[in-house]
DNA sequence: TGATGTTTAAGATCAT
DNA sequence: ATGATCTTAAACATCA
């Protein structure tokens, strides 16, 4: 599934792009200007989500789209997060997580000159017309979680569970399956104290996004199965897969009526805990969801700078607010650098977008996540609500086809189809979408999917 | 007996 | 400061 997971593909992309857009300023090998960081594709080669481990097969061939070899841990200067590499401090006795440098990789930059080194151009004028958007202040660094036992993956337990569920390709998984997948794919947990397994169980029990499926009487084995609760699978879609605190506007939107009722119901019980937007529950799955405004998301839409910081921080911790991404994408409040964040976040969730070069391509990831839908723009909104299963499967198939680099540039295709980002961008221009509408657009699409597909689309 | 599952509590971090 | 979110720890129950 990953598209730009390897330097090879990135190079191919670069070559293709240079072929198709020789006039593109800043993309030429000889061009040197302050905006190099935003227009050159050098970063793309550095931005390889694929693990540097040469012994492992490529992700595209493994059939495991969420394999952590695709998972990149980005850490940038200027976006610290509490001095830790994970949302929560590691156990005191966990020596594996103490004193570990966050920059484990060798920085690879497009140039050493301060005038061309994007890391030194903190606030460059972007090529997309959004001034003073901070650009890369530190090179992205790859951390191979599969082999590196010293860095705790920045993914919440709920995310890990989802990944394991998705990777299993089964509609339901056992606890041991989750354990195994995590230990196999995250070396950290192979060496960590087994208390993390308690946390996994804790998450499964209290996070109502997860549903226990009792084992049939004739099924041998111990314990039950776990799956994503279909009721809350779409909550992974509405931008709260990993984001705290949904917007009150979101809840008040028409598309969120049903969910709002659930949330209000949960609020009555008054339990304190939620995870990833899905309420923790106790005593038969207690429910609670904050209706507090997600002012963070709002801020992100107001301030590209803040948005960048927030995106970065969330990516670092494995958090990914699809809503914010949608908002940024649709509003155009993305710098190329922010696309990097989006790329990273999407990559961690298995959604890929090709190189983000200019503003119109900000929606590429959206198109990719939405399964490469080619829907007439004037009917997109209505259409997405009537997607049948076949369409979705076809979309999913199209999504998978993007593993092949050739599909990145279907220049040999006789039918020239409008690129999805162009369609969406056009619609966004003609009919400005509010954040809620963006949610609705996405929600409508995904709620038509089978629960498992909905989750899979994000993992 | 160990794995699994539930529940409670507390600490850390972040947003408001 | 406060509340929300997330992690961690622990006690306890159930079951194969």
Nucleotides of B under 7 A from a protein CB: 2-16
pLDDT at A162: 86
Domain boundaries, chain A: 157-232
Our CA angle for A129, A131, A133, nearest 5°, is: 115
Find which nucleotide's C1' atom is closest to A88's CA.
Answer: C7
> Considering only CA atoms, which residue is closest to the C1' of nucleotide B8?
A282
DSSP A337-356: HHHHHHHHHHHHTT------
H or E segment and range at residue A42: helix A42-46
pLDDT tens for A58-89 read 333 333 333 433 333 333 323 333 333 333 33
Residue-level pLDDT, tens digit, chain A, 459 residues? 333 333 443 444 445 444 544 443 333 333 333 333 333 333 323 333 233 333 333 333 333 333 433 333 333 323 333 333 333 333 333 333 323 333 322 223 333 333 333 332 332 233 332 333 333 334 446 678 888 888 888 888 888 898 888 888 888 899 999 999 999 889 889 888 888 999 999 999 988 788 888 888 778 888 889 988 777 765 554 333 444 433 333 333 333 333 333 333 333 333 334 444 444 543 333 333 333 333 333 323 333 333 333 333 333 333 333 333 333 333 333 333 333 333 343 343 333 333 333 333 333 333 333 333 233 333 333 333 333 334 433 434 333 333 333 322 233 333 333 332 232 233 333 333 333 333 333 333 333 334 333 443 343
Q: How far is CA A36 from the centre of its chain?
A: 26
Find which nucleotide's C1' atom is closest to A288's CA.
Answer: C4
DSSP A260-319: HHHHHHHHHHT---EETTEEB--SS----------HHHHHHHH-HHHHHHHHHHHHHTT-
One of 1.10.1740.10, 1.10.10.10, 1.10.760.10, 2.30.110.10 is the CATH number of A157-232, namely 1.10.10.10
pLDDT tens for A399-408 read 333 333 332 2
Q: Measuring CA to CA, which residue among A34, A38, A58 is closest to residue A48?
A: A58
The Cα A26–Cα A362 span in angstroms is 18
The distance (Å) linking the CA of A168 with the C1' of B5 is 21
DSSP type of residue A126? P
Residues near strand C (C-beta below 7 A) are A 86-94, 152, 155-158, 193, 195-196, 198-199, 201-203, 220-222, 242-245, 272-277, 288-290, 292, 319
Cβ contacts of residue A217 below 8 Å, gap of 6+? none
Nucleotides of C under 7 A from a protein CB: 3-11, 15-16
């Amino acid at each position: 599934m990953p598209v730009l997971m390897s330097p090879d593909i990135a190079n191919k992309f670069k070559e293709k792009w240079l072929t198709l857009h020789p006039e593109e300023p800043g993309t030429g090998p000889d061009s040197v200007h302050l905006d190099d960081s935003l227009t050159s594709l050098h970063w793309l080669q550095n931005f390889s989500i694929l693990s540097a481990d040469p012994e492992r097969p490529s992700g595209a061939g493994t059939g495991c789209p969420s394999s952590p070899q695709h998972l990149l841990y980005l850490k940038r200067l200027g976006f610290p997060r509490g001095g830790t590499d994970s949302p929560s401090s590691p156990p005191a006795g966990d020596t594996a997580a103490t004193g570990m440098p966050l920059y484990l990789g060798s920085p690879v930059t497009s140039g050493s000159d301060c005038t061309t080194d994007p890391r030194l151009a903190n606030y460059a004028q972007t090529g997309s017309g959004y001034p003073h958007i901070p650009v890369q202040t530190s090179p992205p660094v790859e951390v191979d979680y599969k082999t590196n036992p010293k860095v705790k993956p920045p993914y919440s337990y709920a995310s890990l569970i989802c990944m394991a569920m998705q990777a299993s390709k089964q509609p339901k998984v056992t606890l041991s399956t989750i354990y195994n997948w995590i230990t196999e794919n995250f070396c950290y947990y192979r060496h960590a104290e087994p208390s993390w397994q308690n946390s996994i169980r804790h998450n499964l029990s209290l996070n109502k996004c997860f549903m226990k499926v009792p084992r049939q009487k004739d099924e041998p084995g111990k314990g039950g199965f776990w799956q994503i609760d279909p009721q809350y699978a779409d909550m992974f879609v509405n931008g709260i897969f990993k984001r705290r605190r949904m917007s009150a506007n979101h809840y008040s939107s028409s598309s969120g009526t049903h969910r709002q009722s659930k949330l209000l119901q949960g609020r009555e019980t008054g339990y304190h805990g939620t995870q990833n937007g899905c309420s923790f529950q106790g005593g038969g799955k207690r429910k609670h969801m904050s209706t507090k405004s997600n002012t963070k998301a709002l801020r992100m839409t107001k301030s590209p700078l803040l948005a960048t910081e927030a995106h970065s921080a969330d990516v670092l911790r494995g958090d990914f607010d699809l809503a914010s991404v949608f908002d940024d994408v649709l509003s155009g409040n993305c710098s190329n650098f922010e696309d990097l964040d989006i790329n990273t976040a999407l990559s961690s969730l298995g959604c890929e977008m090709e190189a983000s070069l200019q503003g119109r391509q900000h929606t590429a990831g959206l198109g990719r996540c939405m399964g490469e839908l080619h829907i007439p723009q004037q009917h997109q909104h209505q259409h997405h609500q009537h997607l049948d299963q076949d369409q979705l499967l076809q979309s999913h198939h199209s999504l998978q086809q993007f593993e092949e680099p050739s599909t990145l540039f279907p220049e040999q295709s006789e039918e020239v189809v409008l690129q999805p980002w162009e369609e969406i961008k056009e619609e966004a221009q003609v009919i400005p979408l509010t954040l809620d509408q963006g949610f609705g657009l996405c929600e409508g699409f995904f709620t038509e999917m089978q629960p498992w597909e909905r989750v899979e689309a994000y993992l």
